[in-house]
């Protein structure tokens, strides 16, 4: 009997979701017309661009970091919340929910820190039909200077108090959006939970200045020769976001249903966030860069991966990676891997050698020599062999008349050698190598039991302060 097809449908803090892919509160969710087009493209939900008293934005508003030919590896903005009247936004929320009743619409809210102001905006947003409320306690620029956004999220007492005010009035789930611009994101997460939050979303953007023009000395984005720190997002922030998501979900005092945000642009990114405990993921920069239709590949890719792994629902793999993230002191000190260079794939670039000697542990060497030439070969044989070598392409080594990989043509003296006795298994060589699987990290069985630094301290083998090995001599 064939297995049932996986489904992306799930529930997030009581909200039924067609799929876990939501658009984050940002320019892609600025108005109803945009959000309806996004829903037509396949997005399961959208968090409306933050609603509050209308503001005046500056021009320009965006800047980016490009890396190795990739545009917008990191993206910075100094745009504020919605510049449209509150009532217009609420009317459009009502219209979107009328036309798309099964899609999730979350109202992102930000008003001044007064109980009556929050009570008023909560009632109006819910009366418009919002499925839930996201409290924007994370915006790092502009609004924070007015006592809102991250100015609230960075003070646990304010975070708890305002969440409590909202819960006094709210009938729908309350999601608190956390700022990453804080030493420990668990502190505001715990405060939001104490205030009664039903869920969390993380992370908001990171304070940044993306660059300075070396001719004009003006920072980006340029606003009449000046600029301001802005919110950084995009692929570059994903590792930071994953770390903070794990911190929240591994802490019982802050753990709540979580919507993951930060550098998500593919189904693989989404799967990583879900594996660390997120129920939904929110996307901004990738949609701004490539458009709404990226969600098609995100859905197909995640479904195919789920089918391959045997997962029927999001819940089947949500949080599976959390037990695998430990404190450093709990890692196995007896686990050992070494680098292996596969000669048939090596192109002789010697990047691994340079990286090891200048940036790591000096255990890769250039001391190999090719065998002495065969003097018995006739000129015709030498010519034929030379032609074969010339016609063979080192990368990807796929040539006419061959079925795939060929033997290495790189001279042996250009292929580095790993001193496995001194290799510490740092991985640097495999990371810099431009040829996939040319350098693999392989485990060395030392026939030793699991032993962590924490265990060594407990046994009295090392001191907890310095890590120095205690003498066993009497």
235 contacts 67 by C-beta, under 8 angstroms: no
Residues in Cβ contact with 264 at an 8 Å cutoff, skipping those fewer than 6 apart: 238, 270, 273, 281, 282, 283, 286
Question: Cα separations (Å) of 409 from 15, 345, 354?
Answer: 59, 9, 21
CA distance 106 to 24: 10
Alpha-carbon dihedral of residues 6, 318, 238, 137, nearest 10 degrees?
120
Q: Which residue has the higher pLDDT, 318 or 379?
A: 318
* Range from 204-213, 364-373, 376-385 carrying the lowest mean pLDDT: 376-385
Pick the CATH number of 326-369+411-464 from 3.90.190.10, 3.65.10.10, 2.40.40.20, 3.30.70.20: 3.30.70.20
Is residue 426 flagged as an active site residue?
Answer: no
Closest-CA residue to 81 (of 114, 33, 48, 124): 48
Buried residues in 155-189 as b, exposed as e (16+ CB within 10 A): bbebbbbbbbbbbebbebbbbbbbbbbbeebbbbb
Relative to beta strand 230-233, strand 206-208 is antiparallel
Residues in Cβ contact with 181 at an 8 Å cutoff, skipping those fewer than 6 apart: 138, 140, 150, 154, 206, 207
Q: For 166-183, what is the mean pLDDT? A: 97
Pick the CATH number of 10-323 from 1.10.10.60, 1.20.120.530, 3.40.50.740, 3.20.20.70: 3.20.20.70
Q: For 365-393, what is the mean pLDDT? A: 71
**What pLDDT is stored for residue 320 in this prediction?**
98
129 contacts 175 by C-beta, under 8 angstroms: no
CA distance 216 to 214: 6
What pTM did the predictor assign?
0.89
Q: How confident is the model at residue 177 (pLDDT cuts 50, 70, 90)?
A: very high
DSSP per residue, 313-340: SGGGTTTTTGGG---GGGSBTT--EEEE
**What pLDDT is stored for residue 373 in this prediction?**
64
* Range from 22-31, 228-237, 361-370 carrying the lowest mean pLDDT: 361-370
* Range from 19-33, 286-300, 360-374, 402-416 carrying the lowest mean pLDDT: 402-416
Delimiting residues of CATH 3.20.20.70 domain(s) in the chain: 10-323
**What pLDDT is stored for residue 468 in this prediction?**
59
Residues in Cβ contact with 344 at an 8 Å cutoff, skipping those fewer than 6 apart: 405, 406, 407, 408
Closest-CA residue to 122 (of 200, 23, 52): 52
DSSP state of 373: P
Q: Among 139, 284, 352, 429, which one carries the catalytic annotation?
A: 139
Residues in Cβ contact with 21 at an 8 Å cutoff, skipping those fewer than 6 apart: 8, 42, 43, 44, 45, 270, 280, 281, 283, 295, 298, 299
Q: How confident is the model at residue 291 (pLDDT cuts 50, 70, 90)?
A: very high
Mean pLDDT for the chain overall: 91
Closest-CA residue to 336 (of 430, 455, 448): 448
Conformation bin of residue 51: beta by default, left when phi > 0, alpha when psi is -120 to 50: beta
134 contacts 104 by C-beta, under 8 angstroms: no
**What pLDDT is stored for residue 139 in this prediction?**
85
DSSP per residue, 70-91: EEEEEEEE---S--S-HHHHHH
> Residue 5: pLDDT above 70?
yes
Strand partners, 258: 200
* Range from 1-5, 303-307, 439-443 carrying the lowest mean pLDDT: 1-5
> Residue 366: pLDDT above 70?
yes
> Residue 180: pLDDT above 50?
yes
Delimiting residues of CATH 3.30.70.20 domain(s) in the chain: 326-369+411-464
């Amino acid at each position: 009997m064939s297995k049932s097809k996986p489904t992306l449908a799930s529930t997030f803090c009581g909200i039924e979701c067609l799929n876990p892919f939501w658009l984050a509160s940002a320019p892609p969710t600025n108005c109803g017309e945009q959000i309806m087009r996004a829903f037509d493209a396949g997005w399961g939900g959208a968090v409306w661009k933050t609603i509050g008293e209308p503001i005046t934005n500056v021009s320009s508003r965006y800047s980016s970091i490009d890396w190795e030919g990739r545009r917008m590896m990191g993206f910075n903005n100094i745009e504020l919340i919605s510049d449209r009247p509150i009532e217009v936004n609420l009317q459009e929320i009502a219209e979107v929910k009328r036309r798309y009743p099964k899609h999730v619409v979350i109202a992102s809210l930000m008003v001044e820190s007064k109980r009556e102001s929050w009570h008023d905006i909560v009632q109006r947003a819910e009366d418009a039909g919002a499925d839930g409320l996201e409290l924007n306690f994370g915006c790092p620029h502009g609004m924070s200077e007015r006592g809102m956004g991250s100015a609230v999220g960075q003070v646990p007492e304010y975070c708890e108090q305002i969440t409590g005010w909202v819960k006094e009035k709210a009938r729908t789930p309350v999601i608190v959006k956390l700022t990453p611009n804080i030493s420990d994101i668990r502190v505001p997460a715990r405060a939001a939970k104490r205030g009664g939050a039903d869920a969390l979303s993380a992370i908001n953007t990171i304070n940044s200045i993306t660059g300075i023009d070396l001719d004009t000395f003006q920072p980006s984005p340029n606003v009449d020769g000046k600029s301001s720190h802005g919110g950084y997002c995009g692929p570059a922030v994903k590792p930071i976001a994953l770390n903070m998501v794990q911190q929240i979900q591994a802490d019982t005092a802050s753990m709540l249903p979580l919507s993951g945000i930060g550098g998500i642009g593919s189904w693989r990114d989404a799967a990583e966030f879900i594996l660390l405990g997120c129920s939904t993921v929110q996307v901004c920069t990738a949609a701004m860069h490539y458009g709404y239709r990226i969600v098609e590949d995100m859905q197909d890719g995640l479904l195919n991966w789920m089918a391959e792994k045997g997962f029927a629902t999001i819940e089947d793999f949500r949080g599976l990676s959390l037990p695998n993230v430990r404190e450093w002191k709990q890692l196995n000190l007896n686990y050992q891997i070494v680098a292996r260079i596969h000669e048939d794939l090596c192109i002789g670039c010697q990047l691994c050698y340079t990286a090891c000697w200048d940036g790591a542990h000096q255990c890769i060497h250039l001391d190999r020599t090719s065998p002495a030439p065969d003097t018995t070969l006739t000129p015709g044989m030498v010519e034929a062999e030379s032609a074969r070598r010339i016609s063979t392409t080192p990368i990807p080594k796929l040539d006419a008349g061959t079925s795939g990989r060929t033997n290495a043509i790189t001279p042996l003296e250009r292929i580095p050698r790993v001193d496995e006795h001194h290799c510490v298994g740092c991985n640097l060589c495999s990371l810099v190598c431009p040829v996939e699987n040319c350098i693999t990290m392989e485990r060395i069985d030392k026939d030793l039991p699991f032993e962590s630094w924490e265990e060594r301290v407990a046994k009295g083998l090392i001191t907890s302060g310095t890590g120095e090995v205690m003498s066993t001599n009497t």
